[in-house]
């Protein structure tokens, strides 16, 4: 096949192999047949958070794209407000996690 297509509503929530795996993750790359990098849709309900993690051991780089809601990116203990349209990258050695605001927060996490 020359392309793959899925709809996120057809994906199940559940943790994957990523160090920040959480029950709010939808794994996108595997159903699409992508193996060079990981893509997750993270659907955080109000007040929920991803798992604190860094990428020293696996040397992975993350980019997050905020697609709905708002909240905070916490990096090495410092909170940075995030909102729709923001793209975020964090140094591998820094501990990071996302906290959803009062309306929740959805983001796309790309990891390579």
What residue spans define the domains of the chain? 36-111
Encode pLDDT of 13-70 as tens digits.
Answer: 877 666 677 888 898 888 999 999 989 999 999 999 999 998 988 898 989 999 999 9
In angstroms, rounded to a whole number, what is the distance separating the alpha carbons of residues 102 and 79? 16
Per the structure block, which two tokens stand in for 88? Answer: 């975020």
pTM for the complete prediction? 0.90
* Whole-number pLDDT of residue 105: 98
CATH number for the 36-111 domain, one of 2.60.120.10, 2.30.42.10, 1.10.10.10, 3.90.1640.10?
2.60.120.10
- pLDDT at residue 15, rounded to an integer: 72
Which pLDDT score is estimated for 23? 86
Per-residue pLDDT reduced to its tens digit, 3-16: 899 998 898 887 76
């Amino acid at each position: 096949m020359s392309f793959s297509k899925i709809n996120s509503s057809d994906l199940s929530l559940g943790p994957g192999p990523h160090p920040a795996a959480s029950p709010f993750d939808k794994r996108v790359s595997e159903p699409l047949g992508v193996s060079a990098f990981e893509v997750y849709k993270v659907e955080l309900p109000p007040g929920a958070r991803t798992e604190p993690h860094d990428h020293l051991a696996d040397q992975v780089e993350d980019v997050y794209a905020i697609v709905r809601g708002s909240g905070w990116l916490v990096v090495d203990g410092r909170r940075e407000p995030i909102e729709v349209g923001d793209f975020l990258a964090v140094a591998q050695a820094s501990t990071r996690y996302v906290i959803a605001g009062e309306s929740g927060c959805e983001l796309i996490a790309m990891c390579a």
